[in-house]
């Protein structure tokens, strides 16, 4: 059985790995609902009890998929983490973020319906809304906590000042943010602050969207509907340079008798019990590979060797395109703006 850990000082206990469902709604190319459902069931059966989604993933498709997959399961056996506020248009266009209190109540009503539940375990704005003070957003979610529709409040991709302001309004159980061997920006300020305030970290992108795996080493071709085809780290010379880093990681993985992905996940797991990797397995086979990371034990020397072989300073390209990077409160804080 998978071990568990508490999310922050005030959050629920969850499995040491979480399942991220975004890729089940087409972000990485075509996905199969049948295989996705089988993967969710396999994750739950293996002891993964944290399932992460967003109401805008597939314009509601992702929540509906999860709702169908959870039908017949005991509600208390699953911790549902839901991001809200992302606005989608026809053709999967992006319309910014809306976290006004009246919008939050509207988003939540639809999420409850699609998921087939009467409460959300952890509810969080997907991004900081530049037009709405974080105090107003967190305060509105706090009212939903009091009403019983939400159990806990989380944050996503915000910087130190926003974290402090949010925590002053209501207990925050976790910050969801990208963290991987080649995306270590949170280590300077954000992670220490979360630890100071007793806030857990749910880390997404631990495989850097599949870059830290064996899949692109053998075939770096991306489908036109795969959003990575437009991501800086996956384009041209950037991809070639980054795959050289993956080769270095592959050599270390071979020494441990594990896959590149397993070593990358194990590295994040080893960074602290307060960090829970959210891994976006889309198939049962990928899920089984992911679970193998729990059996990889890394010493302090191992961690240092891995970090030195794959320095994040050698990564080519930002983790998002410029327009998206500009919307990340976490990144603005990192550069002092």
User: DSSP assignment of 6-74, as one string?
Assistant: ESTTTS-EEESSEEE-GGGGTBBB---HHHHHHHHHHHHHHT--EEEEETTGGGGHHHHHHHHHHTTS-
CA 196 remoteness from chain centre? 22
Residue among 316, 331, 156 nearest 244 (CA): 316
Check residue 337 and give its pLDDT. Answer: 31
User: Does residue 326 lie within any of the structural domains?
Assistant: no
Catalytic annotation, pick one of 28, 57, 123, 204: 57
Q: What is the pTM of this model?
A: 0.92
For residue 24, the model assigns a pLDDT of 95
In a domain, 259, yes or no: no
Alpha carbon of 66 to those of 70, 77, 168: distances in Å?
6, 14, 33
Q: Tell me, what's the pLDDT at 209? A: 79
Give the three-state DSSP class for 76: helix
The whole domain housing 115 covers 4-209+267-296
138 strand-pairing partners: none
Nearest to 15 by CA among 82, 83, 78: 78
pLDDT at res. 30: 78
320 counts as catalytic: no
Q: Which CA distances in Å does 51 have to 18, 151, 191, 204? A: 6, 15, 22, 12
Instruction: State the SS3 of 265-282.
Output: HHHHHCCCCCEEEEECCC
Contact 277, 291 (CB under 8 A): no
Summarize pLDDT for 204-242 with one digit per residue, the tens: 999 987 788 877 666 666 666 666 766 788 878 888 888
CB 144 within 8 A of CB 173: no
| 109 lies in some domain | yes
Nearest to 172 by CA among 132, 135, 118: 135
Quick one: which of 216, 213, 197 has its CA closest to 205? 213
Q: Are 21 and 44 in contact (CB under 8 A)?
A: no
Residue 70 maps to a domain: yes
Positions of the chain with pLDDT under 50: 333-337
> Would 257 be classed as within a structural domain?
no
Ramachandran sector of residue 156 (left: φ over 0; alpha: ψ -120 to 50; beta: rest): beta
| Whether 2 contacts 47, CB under 8 Å | yes
Q: Tally the domains of the chain.
A: 1
Say if 238 falls within a structural domain: no
Look at residue 289 and tell me if it is in a domain: yes
Q: What is the CATH number of the domain that holds 73?
A: 3.20.20.100
Residue 97 counted as domain residue: yes
Q: Which of 26, 19, 28, 22 is CA-nearest to residue 216? A: 28
């Amino acid at each position: 059985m998978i071990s568990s850990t508490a999310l922050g000082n005030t959050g629920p206990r969850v499995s040491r790995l979480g399942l991220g469902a975004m890729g089940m709604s087409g972000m990485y190319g075509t996905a199969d609902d049948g295989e996705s459902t089988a993967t969710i069931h396999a994750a739950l059966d293996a002891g993964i009890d944290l399932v992460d989604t967003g109401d805008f993933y597939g314009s509601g498709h992702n929540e509906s998929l999860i709702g169908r997959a959870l039908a017949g399961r005991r509600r208390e056996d699953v911790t549902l983490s839901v991001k809200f506020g992302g606005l989608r248009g026809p053709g999967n266009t992006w319309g910014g973020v809306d976290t006004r209190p009246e919008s939050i109540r509207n988003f939540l009503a639809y999420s409850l319906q699609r998921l087939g539940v009467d409460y959300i375990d952890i509810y969080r704005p997907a991004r900081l809304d530049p037009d709405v003070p974080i105090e107003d957003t967190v305060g509105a979610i706090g009212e939903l906590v009091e009403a019983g529709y939400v159990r806990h409040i989380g944050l996503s991709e915000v910087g130190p000042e926003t974290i402090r302001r949010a925590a002053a309004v209501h207990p925050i159980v976790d910050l969801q943010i990208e963290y991987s061997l080649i995306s270590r920006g949170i280590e300077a300020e954000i992670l220490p602050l979360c630890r100071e305030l007793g806030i857990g970290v749910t880390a997404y992108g631990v495989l850097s969207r599949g870059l830290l795996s064996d899949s692109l080493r053998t075939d770096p071709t991306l489908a036109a509907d795969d959003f990575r085809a437009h991501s800086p780290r996956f384009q041209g010379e950037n991809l070639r340079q980054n795959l050289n880093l993956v080769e270095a990681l592959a050599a270390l993985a071979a020494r441990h008798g594990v896959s590149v992905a397993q070593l990358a996940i194990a590295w994040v797991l080893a960074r602290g019990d307060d960090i829970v990797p959210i891994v976006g397995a889309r198939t049962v086979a990928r899920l089984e590979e992911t679970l193998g990371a729990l059996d990889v034990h890394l010493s302090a020397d191992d961690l240092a060797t891995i970090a030195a072989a794959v320095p994040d300073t050698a990564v080519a390209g930002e983790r998002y395109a410029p327009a998206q990077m500009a919307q990340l409160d976490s990144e603005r804080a990192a550069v002092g703006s």
